[in-house]
């Protein structure tokens, strides 16, 4: 099993290209199930989750090519991929595939809308809380689907098609918003989704669906209106730059010091996070070419933060920000409001010398002068990269184990960091 070795203490200087957003790529790929034409997606990152979803879509009959040919398995930077679901050969998404990645559960919406039925295993993914699928089931039921749970599978049927409705999410859910928006594109009549997620990835999906012939308005606000159409066509859509990757590398520069251009990053996708990072003493310059992040000689200021749905501070940057606060000059408080079990990185950061105590959903971090390298274990995608950030500033050698979590969400992480001066390498086997 691969590991990552880091020898800390080096500042970062140079340019890091920001990849396409994983959290946008996955729903856009799933949208290919809604049409028998070809959907072409640009700026698709080369990630384990993307490859896993390609396999899942293939199980349903989706063919794909990369820049006009079948993909070889060499790892490159973001690509253009063509997806064609000429015919759906299977409406079942089996446990052995879905259990490896939660987002694959989202195929239930397009399959139900296009085929009138879907049988999808209850999902897996990162162990960061229960994250139930109740909102998905309630929303699809509101659209007229008959739904049962049988032997660990959600079985959904709509023999006469789905019908438009007005549905208010009991709580904001990005995944459920994706699924109901896709399903409603082929429903009869108008659907209004209230208390919908406002994330940029929702807007990216809506733009893609509209390019395919859907009639969606309000994406990016809490109320999304969808006028159902009888069919969708192919389209070409570019995936937005990854705001979580952007924030992660910005925090890495904040941690180590240095001067890095995050090439292709869009500040409008994470303004709240950038504002918080600036409060720690980091200089951030927004430009057409990307975002420049600098910290030279200035100590890290402690900042309290609370995660929240967009446009608030992202839960997917909480662990990385906590890593930064371990070196702050004072005490900070980090409150997690999205997931109930997303502090598993705390005990691993403590192995590096961090001083963190937990009180309910709040972590109290007392900054230390020095972190020291140690073997650590990744527990989920974002937690694993927080250990990398800490290791970049720790004295001596840090070994991060179970880095397959990193491969799910960060394209060529070691290469990007080493290109800016970090002493980091992957150890195979």
Residue-by-residue pLDDT tens, the chain, 429 positions? 899 999 999 999 999 999 999 999 999 999 999 999 999 999 999 999 999 999 999 999 999 999 855 545 444 477 999 999 999 999 999 999 888 888 899 999 999 999 999 999 987 543 434 446 889 999 999 999 999 999 889 999 999 999 999 999 999 999 999 999 999 999 999 999 999 999 999 999 999 999 999 999 999 999 999 999 999 999 999 999 999 999 999 999 999 999 999 999 999 999 999 999 999 999 999 999 999 999 988 899 999 999 999 999 999 999 999 999 999 999 999 999 987 777 989 999 999 999 999 999 999 999 999 999 999 998 887 788 999 999 999 999 999 998 888 998 899 999 999 999 999 999 997
Question: What angle is formed at CA 39 by the lines to CA 33 and CA 42, rounded to 5 degrees?
Answer: 125
Mind listing the domains of the chain with CATH numbers?
A: 3-18+241-427 (3.65.10.10), 22-238 (3.65.10.10)
**Global confidence as pTM:** 0.94
Q: HSE-up of 45 (CA within 13 Å, CB side)?
A: 26
Sheet with 355-359, edge to edge strand ranges:
305-306, 331-335, 362-366, 355-359
Strands 423-427, 362-366: pairing kind: unpaired
The binding site for UDP-N-acetyl-alpha-D-glucosamine consists of 102, 131-135, 171-174, 316, 338
The binding site for phosphoenolpyruvate consists of 22-23
- Tell me how far apart the alpha carbons of residues 277 and 254 are, in angstroms, rounded to a whole number: 8
Alpha helices in 231-310 (DSSP H): 243-256, 271-279
What CA–CA distances, in Å, run from 318 to 29, 276, 334, 370?
A: 27, 11, 8, 21
Is 208 tagged catalytic? no
Catalytic residue selected from 56, 113, 126, 349 = 126
Give 293's contacts (C-beta < 8 A, 6+ positions apart). Answer: 249, 250, 253, 254, 259, 260, 262, 277, 282, 283, 284
- Tell me how far apart the alpha carbons of residues 30 and 17 are, in angstroms, rounded to a whole number: 26
- Tell me how far apart the alpha carbons of residues 380 and 366 are, in angstroms, rounded to a whole number: 23
């Amino acid at each position: 099993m691969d590991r990552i070795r880091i020898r800390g203490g080096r500042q970062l200087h140079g340019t890091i290209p920001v990849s396409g957003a994983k959290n946008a790529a996955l729903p856009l790929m799933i949208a290919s199930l809604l049409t028998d034409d070809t959907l072409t997606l640009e700026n698709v990152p080369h990630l384990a989750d993307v490859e896993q979803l390609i396999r899942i879509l293939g199980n349903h009959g989706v063919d794909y090519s990369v820049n006009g040919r079948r993909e070889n398995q060499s790892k490159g930077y973001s690509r253009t991929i063509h997806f064609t679901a000429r015919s759906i050969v299977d409406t079942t998404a089996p446990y052995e595939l879905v259990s490896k990645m939660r987002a694959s559960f989202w195929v239930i919406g397009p399959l139900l809308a296009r085929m009138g039925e879907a049988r999808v295993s209850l999902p897996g993914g990162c162990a960061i809380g229960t994250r139930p699928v109740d909102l998905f089931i309630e929303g699809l039921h509101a659209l007229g689907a008959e739904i049962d749970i049988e032997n660990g599978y959600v079985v959904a049927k709509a023999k006469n098609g789905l019908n438009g409705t007005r549905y208010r999410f009991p709580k904001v859910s990005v995944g459920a918003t994706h699924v109901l928006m896709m399903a409603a594109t082929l429903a009869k009549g108008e659907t209004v989704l209230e208390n919908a997620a406002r994330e940029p990835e929702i807007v990216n999906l809506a733009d893609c669906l509209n390019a395919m012939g859907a009639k969606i308005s309000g994406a990016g606000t809490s109320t999304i209106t969808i006028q159902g159409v009888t069919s969708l066509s192919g389209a070409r859509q570019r995936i937005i730059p990854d705001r979580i990757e952007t924030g992660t590398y910005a925090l890495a520069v904040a941690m180590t010091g240095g001067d890095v251009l995050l090439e292709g990053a869009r500040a409008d996708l994470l303004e709240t996070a950038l504002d918080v990072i600036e409060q720690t003493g980091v200089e951030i310059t927004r430009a057409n070419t990307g975002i420049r992040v600098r910290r030279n000689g200035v100590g890290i200021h402690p900042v309290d933060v609370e995660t929240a749905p967009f446009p608030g501070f992202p839960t997917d940057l909480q662990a990385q920000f906590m890593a930064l606060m371990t070196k702050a000059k004072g005490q900070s408080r980090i409150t997690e409001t999205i997931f109930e079990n997303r502090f598993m990185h705390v005990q691993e950061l403590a192995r590096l010398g961090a001083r963190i105590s937990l009180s309910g959903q709040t972590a109290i971090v007392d900054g230390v002068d020095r972190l020291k390298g140690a073997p650590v274990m990744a527990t989920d995608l974002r937690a694993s990269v927080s250990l990398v950030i800490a290791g970049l500033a720790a004295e001596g050698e840090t070994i991060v184990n179970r880095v397959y979590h990193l491969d799910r969400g960060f394209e060529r992480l070691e290469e990007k960091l080493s290109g800016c001066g970090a002493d980091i390498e992957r150890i195979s086997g």
